[in-house]
C-alpha cells in the first residue's frame, strides 16, 4: 500500500519526512504533529527500500517507541514494527549485553535504580561512620548530584551547588572530600558486584565505542538512519553517543522544541538542540509551526510571551487551524482559598452546563502542594480526579520489596536486595540487616543460616526465607510471582499483628496493606508475556511506569513536568504569581532558572485546546506568612483580559 505523503502532510511536515540524507533538525512547536512526522518518516524510509534493520529510533519512553512503531505498521505494513525503537538506556543495555566483555564487564550485570543507588551509598556511609553526621547530604541527594554531574559534564561541586542552592551548599562544602570518597567507593562497589546504574549504561557504552573502533563502525553501518525524538531533553552523554555513531554516516534526524526543554534538573541540556546546526555542519533546519491543538487566541498568547521573554533558541510563530472568539482569562482571586473555590465552580459549570467531560479538564501546578485546598473541595463534592506528578508506581516501598524477592532469586549475592528484604522481618533493624546482607554477598543463600544468629528470635524467619527463595527456582515465572505475593502478604499481616500501635493507625496500615496487594496484582499483570524474571526486571528497571486501564471519567491535576505531551479542552494554571509560578521574579530575568521557568510556562499554556484560565491570587501564603501575589512577569505586560 503506497502512501500519498503530499496529501497526508502539510508542506513543512512533508519536508521533514522526506529529508532523509544528511543531518536535519526538525523544530516542532507545541501541537504541530511531531509524532506524526516521526511515524511517517519511518514509513517513508521503508517505502524507499531501507531495511527495518537499518533504522534506529530513540525516544524517552519505550511506550512512545512502541506506539510509533505500531502506528507506522498500521499505516504501511509490518516491516515498520521491525525497526529498532527504544530509549537511550534500553539501547545501551542491549548493546552492552553483547559487547560489555570488551571493556572487562560481565554481560550478566544487574541494572539498579536510584533507590538501590541510595541504599548502597547509605551502607558505605555507615561503614565510614558518617551516616548520622549533622548537615551531611542525604544519600538520595548524593545520587542525584552525582548523576547530574555526569549527565551535564560538570563538576560534582557545581552539581551540588545547583541542587542545594548557595546557603545549603555552604553548610555541606566542608564535606566535599568525604563525599568524593563515598562516591569513589560507590563506583568500586558496583564494579565488584557487577552492577550498573542508569548512568553507567551510557558511560560504559561510550567506553565500548571509544576503545573498539570496529564495534563503532559496525553499529554505524547497521544503523544507517538514526532518528531522535524530544531532542531538547537529551543530555551530554546521550548526545556524545549519537555523535560517535554519526562520525562518517551523517544520516541523523533530531526532532524537538527548545521551548519545551523543562527537565534541566535531571540533566537535560537545551543547548544540545540550540547548537545542533553548528555541531552538525550542513544541517537542514525545518520549522513545524502549524498547530493542530489549540485555538488562535491561545497561540497568540504563547507567541507573544515567548517573543517578549525568550532570550535563547529559535522563535516559532505558531498558527492555529481555527479562531474560537474566546480569550484566555487572567483570574485575580483574593487568595488561594478563593482561587480553589473559583476553579471548583468553573469545573462544575464546564462539566454540567457545557457538557465538557471531566477527562478534558486539567489543573496544572508548578509544585504538587499547590492543589491541596482544591483537592479537599473536589473530594467534598465527590468530583473524581487523578493526580499526576506524585510518587511513581515502582518507587513504592512494597513494590521495590516485591521485586527484591526476584532479585535475590536471580542473584543470591545481591547485597542491596537482601538489605531491603531482611528489614521486613520482626527484630531485624538496619544493623542486623546490613551485617546479614554482607554475609549473603559472600555466601549467597547460606548467609541466612549462619550459626551466630541461631539464638536470635528471627532465625526461624531466615530459615523460612532461605527455603522460600530456593523453591522459587523450581517454579514457572507466573506461579513464582503468585508465590511471592502470598509470602509477602502473610508477612505484612504478621507485622501488623505484632505492631504495638493505636487502633486508628492499625486501620490505616490495614488499608495500606490491601492497596499493596492490589498493586501486586497490577505488577503480576504487567509480567504477563515474560517467561523469566531476568527479562522482566531489566524491562521494568528501564521503563518503570505501568499503564492504567481506562476507568471512569476523571479530571486531572498535574504538575507541569508530568503533563508534557498531554492536551485538554480546558486548562487551569494555578498560582501564576512571581516566586510561585514562576519560582523566580523579575530580578532574575535572563538567568538559567528564569529561562527554564519560562519554558515551563509555555508548556503549561500550550496544553489547552479551547479554554485557558491563568490563576493569580492577590495574596499568597509562604513560609507561614501572607505575601502580596505579584502577577507573573511573563504575563503582567501582555495580558489584557482579566476576570
What is the per-residue pLDDT across 20-74, written as a single tens digit (0 to 9) for each? 999 999 999 999 999 999 999 999 999 999 999 999 999 988 888 999 999 999 9
Cα gap 591→111, rounded to integer Å: 37
CATH architecture of 319-384+552-628: 3-Layer(aba) Sandwich (3.40)
Angle at 447 between CA 441 and CA 453, to 5 degrees: 130
Q: How confident is the model at residue 333 (pLDDT cuts 50, 70, 90)?
A: very high
Peptide bond into 325 cis (omega under 30): no
Q: What is the pLDDT of residues 494-519, one digit of tens each?
A: 988 888 888 888 888 888 888 889 88
pLDDT at 259: 96
- HSE of 82 in the Cβ direction (CA atoms, 13 Å)? 11
Query: What fold does the segment set 395-542 form as a domain?
Result: PCRA; domain 4 (1.10.486)
Q: What is the pLDDT of residues 455-480, one digit of tens each?
A: 888 999 999 999 999 999 889 999 99
Cα gap 107→96, rounded to integer Å: 7
Indicate the average pLDDT of the chain.
92
pLDDT at 643: 54
pLDDT at 390: 61
Residue 29, annotated as binding a ligand? yes
Q: What is the pLDDT of residues 398-446, one digit of tens each?
A: 999 999 999 999 999 999 999 999 999 998 888 889 899 999 999 999 9
C-alpha cell at 589: 530575568
Residue 184, annotated as binding a ligand? no
Do 319-384+552-628 and 395-542 come out as alike in CATH topology?
no
* Least confident span in 232-241, 255-264, 420-429, 530-539: 530-539
Phi, psi at 532, each rounded to 5°:
-150, 150
Residue 389, annotated as binding a ligand? no
Residue 28, annotated as binding a ligand? yes
Q: What is the pLDDT of residues 596-627, one digit of tens each?
A: 999 999 999 999 999 999 999 999 987 668 89
Q: Is 493 helix (H, G, I), strand (E, B) or coil?
A: helix
Do the Cβ atoms of 426 and 498 come closer than 8 Å? Answer: yes
**Do the strands 625-628 and 619-622 form a parallel or antiparallel pair, or are they unpaired?**
antiparallel
215 or 367, which is more confident? 215
Query: With 70 as the cut, is the pLDDT of residue 642 above it?
Result: no
Domain boundary assignment for the chain: 11-96+202-288, 110-193, 319-384+552-628, 395-542
Residue 34, annotated as binding a ligand? yes
Do the Cβ atoms of 223 and 259 come closer than 8 Å? Answer: no
Select the CATH number that applies to the domain covering 11-96+202-288 from these four: 3.30.300.10, 3.40.50.300, 3.30.460.10, 1.20.144.10. 3.40.50.300
343 or 394, which is more confident? 343
Q: What is the pLDDT of residues 118-153, one digit of tens each?
A: 999 988 998 888 877 888 999 999 999 999 999 999
Measured CA distances, 155 to 136, 143, 146 (Å)? 19, 14, 9
Cα gap 438→453, rounded to integer Å: 14
Q: What is the pLDDT of residues 77-108, one digit of tens each?
A: 999 999 999 999 999 999 999 999 999 999 99
Residue 129, annotated as binding a ligand? no
Strand order in the sheet with 284-288: 84-87, 55-59, 225-228, 252-256, 24-28, 284-288
328 or 535, which is more confident? 328
pLDDT at 89: 95
C-alpha cell at 611: 479554554
pLDDT at 546: 47
Amino acid at each position: 500500500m503506497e502512501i500519498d505523503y503530499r496529501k497526508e502532510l502539510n508542506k513543512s511536515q512533508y519536508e521533514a519526512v522526506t529529508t532523509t540524507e544528511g543531518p536535519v533538525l526538525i523544530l516542532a512547536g507545541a501541537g504541530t504533529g511531531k509524532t506524526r512526522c516521526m511515524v511517517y518518516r519511518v514509513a517513508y524510509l521503508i517505502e524507499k527500500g531501507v531495511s527495518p534493520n537499518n533504522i534506529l529510533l530513540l525516544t524517552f519512553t519505550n511506550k512512545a517507541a512502541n506506539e510509533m512503531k505500531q502506528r507506522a505498521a498500521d499505516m504501511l505494513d509490518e516491516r515498520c514494527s521491525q525497526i529498532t525503537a527504544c530509549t537511550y538506556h534500553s539501547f545501551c543495555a542491549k548493546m552492552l549485553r553483547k559487547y560489555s566483555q570488551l571493556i572487562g564487564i560481565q554481560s550478566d550485570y544487574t541494572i539498579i535504580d536510584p533507590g538501590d543507588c541510595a541504599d548502597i551509598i547509605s551502607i558505605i556511609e555507615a561503614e565510614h561512620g558518617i551516616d548520622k553526621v549533622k548537615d551531611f547530604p542525604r544519600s538520595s541527594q548524593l545520587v542525584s548530584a552525582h548523576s547530574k554531574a555526569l549527565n551535564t559534564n560538570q563538576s560534582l561541586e557545581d552539581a551540588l551547588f545547583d541542587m542545594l542552592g548557595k546557603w545549603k551548599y555552604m553548610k555541606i562544602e566542608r564535606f566535599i572530600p568525604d563525599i568524593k570518597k563515598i562516591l569513589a567507593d560507590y563506583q568500586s562497589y558496583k564494579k565488584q558486584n557487577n552492577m550498573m546504574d542508569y548512568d553507567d549504561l551510557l558511560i560504559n557504552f561510550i567506553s565500548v565505542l571509544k576503545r573498539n573502533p570496529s564495534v563503532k563502525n559496525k553499529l554505524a553501518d547497521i544503523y544507517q538512519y538514526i532518528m531522535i525524538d524530544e531532542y531538547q531533553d537529551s543530555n551530554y552523554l546521550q548526545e556524545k553517543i549519537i555523535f560517535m555513531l554519526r562520525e562518517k554516516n551523517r544520516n541523523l534526524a533530531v526532532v524537538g522544541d527548545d521551548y519545551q526543554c523543562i527537565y534541566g534538573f535531571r540533566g537535560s541540556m537545551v543547548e544540545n538542540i540550540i547548537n545542533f546546526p553548528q555541531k552538525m555542519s550542513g544541517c537542514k533546519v525545518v520549522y513545524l509551526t502549524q498547530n493542530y491543538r489549540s485555538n488562535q487566541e491561545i497561540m497568540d498568547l504563547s507567541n507573544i510571551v515567548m517573543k517578549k521573554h525568550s532570550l535563547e533558541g529559535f522563535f516559532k510563530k505558531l498558527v492555529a487551524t481555527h479562531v474560537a472568539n474566546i480569550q484566555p482569562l487572567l483570574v485575580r482571586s483574593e487568595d488561594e482559598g478563593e482561587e480553589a473555590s473559583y476553579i471548583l465552580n468553573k469545573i462544575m459549570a464546564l462539566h454540567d452546563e457545557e457538557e465538557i467531560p471531566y477527562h478534558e479538564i486539567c489543573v496544572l501546578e508548578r509544585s504538587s502542594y499547590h492543589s491541596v485546598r482544591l483537592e479537599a473541595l473536589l473530594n467534598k463534592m465527590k468530583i473524581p480526579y487523578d493526580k499526576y506528578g506524585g510518587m511513581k508506581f515502582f518507587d513504592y516501598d512494597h513494590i521495590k520489596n516485591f521485586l527484591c524477592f526476584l532479585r535475590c532469586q536471580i542473584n543470591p549475592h545481591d547485597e542491596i536486595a537482601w538489605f531491603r528484604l531482611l528489614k521486613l522481618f520482626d527484630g531485624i533493624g538496619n544493623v542486623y540487616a546490613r551485617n546479614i546482607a554482607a554475609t549473603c554477598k559472600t555466601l549467597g543463600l547460606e548467609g541466612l543460616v549462619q550459626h551466630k544468629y541461631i539464638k536470635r528470635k528471627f532465625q526461624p524467619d531466615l530459615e523460612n526465607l532461605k527455603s522460600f527463595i530456593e523453591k522459587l527456582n523450581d517454579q514457572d515465572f507466573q506461579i513464582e510471582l503468585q508465590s511471592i505475593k502470598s509470602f509477602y502478604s502473610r508477612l505484612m499481616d504478621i507485622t501488623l499483628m505484632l505492631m504495638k500501635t493505636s487502633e486508628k493507625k492499625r486501620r490505616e496500615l490495614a488499608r495500606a496493606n490491601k492497596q499493596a496487594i492490589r498493586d501486586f496484582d497490577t505488577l503480576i499483570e504487567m509480567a504477563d508475556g515474560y517467561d523469566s524474571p531476568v527479562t522482566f526486571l531489566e524491562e521494568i528497571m528501564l521503563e518503570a511506569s505501568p499503564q492504567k486501564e481506562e476507568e471512569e471519567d476523571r479530571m486531572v491535576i498535574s504538575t507541569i513536568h508530568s503533563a508534557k505531551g498531554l492536551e485538554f479542552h480546558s486548562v487551569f494554571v494555578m498560582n501564576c504569581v512571581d516566586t510561585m509560578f514562576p519560582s523566580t521574579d523579575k530580578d532574575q530575568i535572563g538567568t538559567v532558572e528564569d529561562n527554564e521557568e519560562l519554558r515551563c510556562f509555555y508548556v503549561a499554556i500550550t496544553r489547552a485546546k479551547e479554554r485557558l484560565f491563568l490563576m493569580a491570587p492577590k495574596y499568597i501564603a509562604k513560609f507561614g506568612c501572607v505575601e502580596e501575589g505579584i502577577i507573573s512577569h511573563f504575563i503582567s505586560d501582555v495580558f489584557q483580559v482579566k476576570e
